[in-house]
Amino acid sequence: MKIFKYQIVIFVLLFLTCFVDNVSGQSKREFRGAWIQCVNGQFLGMSTQAMQSTLTYQLDELQKDGVNAIIFQVRPECDALYASSMEPWSRFLTGTQGVAPKPYWDPLQWMVDQCHKRGMELHAWINPYRAKTKGTNELSRNHVAIRHPEWVFAYDGQLILNPGIPECREYICKVADDIVRRYDIDGLHIDDYFYPYPVAGQKIDDSRQYQANNNGIKNIGDWRRYNVNLFIQQLHNSISSVKPWVKFGVSPFGIYRNKKNSPIGSETNGLQNYDDLYADVLMWVNNGWVDYVVPQLYWEIGHKAADYETLIKWWNVHTSKRPLYIGEDIERTVKKADLNNPKINQMPAKFKLHSEMRNVKGTVLWYAKAAVDNIGNYGKTLRNVYWRYPALQPTMPFIDGDAPKKVRKMKVINMPEGKVLFWTAPKGKGWEDEAVKYVVYRFASGERIDIDNPAKIVAITTNTFYDIKELEKTTYVVTALDRMGNESKGKKKKI
């Protein structure tokens, strides 16, 4: 048994070593996200202190793993994990819908502050249409389904805001506007729930709306897609009109269409966004109605109906007009054996596919706690291998492509606790030019300055100072980042 354990340790070390040499060539820009959901009940009924403690631990571990963006669920069923005058407090926070947390706090504001303190982005994740999950038995008096029962239809134990009713689109956009205006979020994120997932024996009750508002569209499926298209366009325009720098992202189901249903479909045989959920994702991407897309590719390589390799290649080809990030299921990845080496899981093969896809600009982990718990050694492999060095966010020149000016007045001051490098923010007018974060690079004495090498990044921070820890001669370079991650030229200081 001891010999077997030693063999495992040696294998892991060899596995890590074979990748370390390649990590120095990792992309400096990569979206490394993680979904933190509440709808699974992980925070239900927790005290304020307990939930803050839990989230602090998760954020600290995710930061060590290399995560640079958190997608935090704040509206699972037309409710709120934030202070809202429009919708009730979520039961997934306090246990009872409409009851505020005690002691009082605002989880979204707290998460914005905590993520920014760690150099992470915070994307607020809302479920636009779902008004009640199966497990919710009582709705608050100010819940939209109570105030406007004519806006919802029942489906498989849920209540769904009807996409065919224009007032529903207006309402969702007002909720999103409220979040965008009041919180310093970096993104507004929606997932795969548009029209409900089909359930045998269930029927969508929208024939009256179709008859009244069909706009001459003769097929009800086309009409439903038209409704969702209108909503996506309206939500995108609404967000950008309030804060143009807030990124609008969508995470659709992993299959757009099967090839048997469309010449441009993938060689798959599963549920489809276009036909079953009435979500025409390619139209949104090609029209610029989304700023990034995260298809949920939760299957394994070799899956008979929905092969991961087939799908990542399909999305890589068809969504080149917007940044493409891949939604990864951690548990399924580590539980499935590599097709060519059954002794290891599929994590290496999947990350290899990522590196080979020209248009894949990042990954979002489903779900954050699985990485934090290091299921199948996934989290530690991220921090030691694939995400060993920090990464900046992918740029979005279609929103803003101009970099801020250089930082100013860099100097080292001897403080009681040691040397501290200080600098002053560059001058900038308007959100396009203002610096919001800084990147600190460290180089050994005489080493060539190369800020394209992520191995030299020692901090991504909102602070205008950095504590110097080493004693040997060193050169520091500091750059400024604007809200879209555009990076200034570096300013150098020898220590």
- Give the pLDDT mean for 76-85: 98
Q: In this structure, what CATH number is given to the domain that contains residue 89?
A: 3.20.20.80
Q: Does 364 fall in a domain?
A: yes
Q: Look up residue 137 and give its DSSP letter.
A: -
pLDDT digits (tens, 9 = 90+) for 105-122: 999 999 999 999 999 999
Residues whose CB falls within 8 Å of the CB of residue 490, separated by 6 or more in sequence, listed in order:
406, 441, 449, 451, 477, 478, 479
Confidence of residue 69 (pLDDT cuts 50, 70, 90): very high
Q: Does 10 fall in a domain?
A: no
Peptide bond into 367 cis (omega under 30): yes
Q: Does 18 fall in a domain?
A: no
Peptide bond into 128 cis (omega under 30): no
Q: What is the C-alpha separation between 143 and 311, in angstroms, rounded?
A: 39
pLDDT digits (tens, 9 = 90+) for 432-472: 999 999 999 999 989 999 999 999 999 999 999 999 987 78
Token pair of 292 as six digits: 């990034």
Q: What is the C-alpha separation between 473 and 495, in angstroms, rounded?
A: 6
Instruction: Identify whether residues 378 and 413 lie together within a single domain.
Output: no
Token pair 């493409």 in the structure block, residue: 324
Instruction: Identify whether residues 86 and 182 lie together within a single domain.
Output: yes
Q: Does 12 fall in a domain?
A: no
Instruction: Identify whether residues 101 and 164 lie together within a single domain.
Output: yes
Say yes or no to pLDDT of 146 above 80.
yes
pLDDT of residue 225: 98
Instruction: Identify whether residues 414 and 293 lie together within a single domain.
Output: no
- Type of residue numbered 14: L
Q: Are strands 121-126 and 69-75 parallel, antiparallel or unpaired?
A: parallel
Q: Does 3 fall in a domain?
A: no
* Residue 387 CB coordination number (10 Å): 23
- Give the pLDDT mean for 254-264: 98
The DSSP line for 17-56 is HHHHHHHTTS-SB-EEEEEE-STTSTTTT--HHHHHHHHH
pLDDT of residue 277: 98
Burial class (CB in 10 A: 0-12, 13-18, 19+), 148: middle
Instruction: Identify whether residues 42 and 108 lie together within a single domain.
Output: yes
Instruction: Identify whether residues 337 and 455 lie together within a single domain.
Output: no
- Spatial CA neighbour of 125 closest among 182, 72, 58: 72
Burial class (CB in 10 A: 0-12, 13-18, 19+), 240: middle
Instruction: Identify whether residues 221 and 335 lie together within a single domain.
Output: yes
Q: What is the C-alpha separation between 359 and 16, in angstroms, rounded?
A: 26
Instruction: Identify whether residues 364 and 489 lie together within a single domain.
Output: no
- Give the pLDDT mean for 352-379: 97
- Give the pLDDT mean for 489-494: 96
Across the chain, mean pLDDT equals 94
pLDDT digits (tens, 9 = 90+) for 385-421: 999 999 999 999 999 999 999 999 999 999 988 899 9
pLDDT of residue 361: 98
Instruction: Identify whether residues 418 and 306 lie together within a single domain.
Output: no
Do residues 67 and 371 lie in contact, with contact meaning Cβ atoms separated by under 8 Å?
Answer: yes
Instruction: Identify whether residues 193 and 295 lie together within a single domain.
Output: yes
Do residues 244 and 399 lie in contact, with contact meaning Cβ atoms separated by under 8 Å?
Answer: yes
Q: In this structure, what CATH number is given to the domain that contains residue 464?
A: 2.60.40.10
- Spatial CA neighbour of 36 closest among 110, 132, 136: 110
Q: Does 391 fall in a domain?
A: no
pLDDT of residue 8: 43
Instruction: Identify whether residues 292 and 422 lie together within a single domain.
Output: no
Q: Does 350 fall in a domain?
A: yes
Structural domains of the chain, count: 2
Confidence of residue 480 (pLDDT cuts 50, 70, 90): very high
Q: What is the C-alpha separation between 166 and 170, in angstroms, rounded?
A: 6
Domain residues for the domain of 414 are 408-494
- List b or e across 10-41, with b for residues whose CB sees 16 or more CB atoms inside 10 angstroms: eeeeeeeeebeeebeebebebbbbbbbbbeee
Helices and strands in the chain, H and E counts: 14, 18
Instruction: Identify whether residues 118 and 231 lie together within a single domain.
Output: yes
* Count of positions (residues) in the chain: 495
- Give the pLDDT mean for 40-49: 93
Confidence of residue 268 (pLDDT cuts 50, 70, 90): very high
pLDDT of residue 25: 54
- Give the pLDDT mean for 87-110: 97
Q: Does 8 fall in a domain?
A: no
Q: What is the C-alpha separation between 143 and 131, in angstroms, rounded?
A: 9
pLDDT digits (tens, 9 = 90+) for 2-25: 444 434 433 444 444 444 333 445
pLDDT digits (tens, 9 = 90+) for 281-339: 999 999 999 999 999 999 999 999 999 999 999 999 999 999 999 999 999 999 999 99
